[in-house]
């Protein structure tokens, strides 16, 4: 046991998860690579949980942070803040939400908390619809709408939450149906549920479930849901904490795969926009955002140094078409991984879009989750110089792949080759 690991265990919570039997300390990074304290170099296929969106140590971002730090780091929202206004203007325009207002937080959890506050206040209801296998954060209210028991340590909640079918395409009672019939069955289930309860405040949904193992419904499901919800004035909250900013390749926001009925009423974001800086936020129509009748501020949400980083990061992403790169390189990587998985009975499914890819592992010859294999692949990949994530509803039996969106074709091939050997080793 390393000295740092021992110190970690003696002073931090037992439930603060660490990867690897021998945890590593990452000391620095560059591009798509990071180094640990022992000098080992790794290709980073997880980006600090989908947070290093463009690249490690990107000069444009470090320059923006350094210059802003030399002026002022923080003043709170009680004063006018030029970088916050400039970033909010860009996000409002990109969101697709008409007459949009933006509120900045420090995390995705806090963003979802704020969205719940807005929706329940606007609708005067504490009932929330959420998806099975979902994850929305670690706070008391966010845990209360999380449909993944591995990340939900309590059933106590200030909200009454009802869970809806549809977030997982290949498991559950409708898995054997075709896409159109799957959507129709989920919609009928939603209609039946709404017929038995008072109208809830909102449905909150991740377009692609992140912690749930990068699972997703067929395109169009949430558009079909929204038609039903709108009949009763129920709001749609799109949790874009992991899917936003072009990561899925085909779309800038995950909701756009379900956009036939227009943008969501509320959109939450975080992770990638800061490229490692603590930025989250909420976008909503003005009437929803302005429904609160009490004063509020944010001490650290929208602070100047994080806004400078976010603005530089977003400009780089747009100017270098990293969404297009995610589509092109991600498409190649998914096909390569599917070809590998087709040869291995431990691989149940390779799924995802863009640079948001999940590999679900099972016990060969069965449909039973195989978390031991997932852990073994994680270790084998690290030994060979590749960092991955894991997740999923079934005891974290899915590998999660989400590298920086600037990943090159050569790096994708290198990572796929390491993954091939790691999967074969189990």
CB 208 within 8 A of CB 242: yes
Q: Considering only CA atoms, give the Rg of the chain.
A: 21
Looking at the fold, whether 304 and 329 belong to one and the same domain comes out as: no
Residue 277 pairs in a beta bridge with: 275
The structural domain count of the chain equals: 2
Looking at the fold, whether 343 and 264 belong to one and the same domain comes out as: no
Looking at the fold, whether 16 and 79 belong to one and the same domain comes out as: no
- Among the candidates 283, 301, 319, a domain finishes at 319
Distance CA 93, CA 301 (A): 20
Looking at the fold, whether 197 and 114 belong to one and the same domain comes out as: yes
Cβ neighbours of residue 419 under 8 Å, at least 6 residues apart?
337, 340, 359, 377, 381, 386, 388, 399
For residue 52, the model assigns a pLDDT of 97
Question: Other CB atoms closer than 10 Å to residue 344's CB: what's the count?
Answer: 15
Looking at the fold, whether 217 and 358 belong to one and the same domain comes out as: no
Looking at the fold, whether 107 and 44 belong to one and the same domain comes out as: no
For residue 394, the model assigns a pLDDT of 65
Looking at the fold, whether 237 and 313 belong to one and the same domain comes out as: yes
For residue 60, the model assigns a pLDDT of 97
For residue 260, the model assigns a pLDDT of 82
Q: What is the pLDDT of residues 319-357, one digit of tens each?
A: 999 999 999 999 999 999 999 999 999 999 999 999 999
For residue 2, the model assigns a pLDDT of 77
Looking at the fold, whether 216 and 279 belong to one and the same domain comes out as: yes
Distance CA 175, CA 115 (A): 31
For residue 150, the model assigns a pLDDT of 85
- Among the candidates 281, 301, 319, a domain finishes at 319
For residue 180, the model assigns a pLDDT of 97
The encoded tokens of residue 121 equal 């206040």
Range of the domain at 421: 3-54+321-425
Looking at the fold, whether 325 and 183 belong to one and the same domain comes out as: no
Distance CA 210, CA 272 (A): 13
For residue 395, the model assigns a pLDDT of 66
Q: What is the pLDDT of residues 73-127, one digit of tens each?
A: 999 999 999 999 999 999 999 999 999 999 999 999 999 999 999 999 999 999 9
* CATH number of the domain where residue 338 is located: 3.90.1150.10
Looking at the fold, whether 280 and 326 belong to one and the same domain comes out as: no
* CATH number of the domain where residue 180 is located: 3.40.640.10
Looking at the fold, whether 75 and 44 belong to one and the same domain comes out as: no
The encoded tokens of residue 393 equal 């509803």
Q: In which residue are the tokens 């806090």 written?
A: 110
Residue 301 phi/psi, 5° resolution?
-65, 125
Q: Which residues of the chain have pLDDT under 50?
A: none
- Among the candidates 294, 319, 344, a domain finishes at 319
Q: In which residue are the tokens 């809806």 written?
A: 164
| Closest among 313, 356, 355, 387 to 26, alpha carbons compared | 387
Looking at the fold, whether 135 and 279 belong to one and the same domain comes out as: yes
């Amino acid at each position: 046991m390393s000295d740092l690991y021992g110190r970690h265990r003696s002073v931090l919570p037992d439930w603060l998860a660490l990867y690897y039997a021998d945890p590593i300390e990452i000391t620095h990074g560059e591009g798509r690579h990071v180094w640990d304290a022992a000098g080992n170099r790794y290709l980073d296929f997880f980006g600090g949980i989908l947070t290093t969106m463009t690249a490690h140590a990107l000069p444009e971002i470090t320059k923006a942070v350094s210059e802003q730090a030399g002026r002022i780091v923080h003043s709170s929202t009680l004063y006018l803040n030029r970088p916050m206004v400039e970033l909010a203007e860009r996000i409002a325009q990109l969101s697709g939400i008409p007459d949009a207002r933006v509120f900045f937080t420090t995390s995705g959890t806090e963003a979802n908390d704020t969205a719940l506050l807005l929706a329940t206040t606007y609708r005067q209801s504490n009932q929330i619809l959420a998806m099975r296998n979902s994850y929305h954060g670690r706070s008391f209210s966010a845990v209360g709408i999380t449909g993944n028991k591995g990340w939900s340590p309590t059933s106590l909640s200030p909200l009454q939450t009802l869970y809806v079918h549809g977030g997982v395409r290949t498991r559950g009672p409708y898995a054997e149906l075709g896409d159109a019939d799957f959507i129709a069955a989920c919609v009928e289930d939603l209609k039946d549920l709404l017929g038995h309860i008072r109208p809830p405040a909102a449905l909150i949904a991740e377009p692609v479930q992140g912690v749930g193992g990068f699972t997703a419904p067929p395109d169009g499901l949430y558009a079909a849901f929204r038609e039903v919800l709108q009949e009763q004035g129920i709001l749609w909250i799109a949790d874009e904490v992991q899917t936003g900013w072009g990561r899925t390749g085909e779309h800038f926001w995950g909701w756009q795969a379900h956009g036939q009925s227009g943008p969501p009423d509320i959109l939450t974001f975080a992770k990638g926009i800061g490229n490692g800086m603590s930025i989250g936020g909420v976008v909503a129509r003005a009437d929803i955002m302005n429904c609160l009748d009490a004063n509020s501020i944010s001490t650290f949400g929208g602070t100047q140094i994080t806004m400078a980083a976010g603005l530089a990061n977003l400009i780089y992403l747009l100017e270098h078409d990293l969404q297009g790169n995610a589509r092109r390189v991600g498409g190649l990587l998914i096909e390569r991984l599917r070809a590998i998985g087709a040869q291995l009975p431990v691989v149940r499914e390779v799924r995802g879009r863009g640079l948001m890819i999940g590999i679900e592992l099972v016990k060969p010859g069965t449909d039973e989750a195989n978390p031991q294999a997932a852990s073994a692949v994680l270790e084998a990949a690290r030994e060979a110089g590749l960092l991955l994530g894991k997740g999923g509803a079934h005891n974290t039996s899915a590998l999660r792949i989400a590298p920086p969106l600037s990943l090159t074709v050569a790096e994708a091939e290198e990572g796929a080759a390491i993954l091939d050997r790691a999967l074969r080793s189990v």
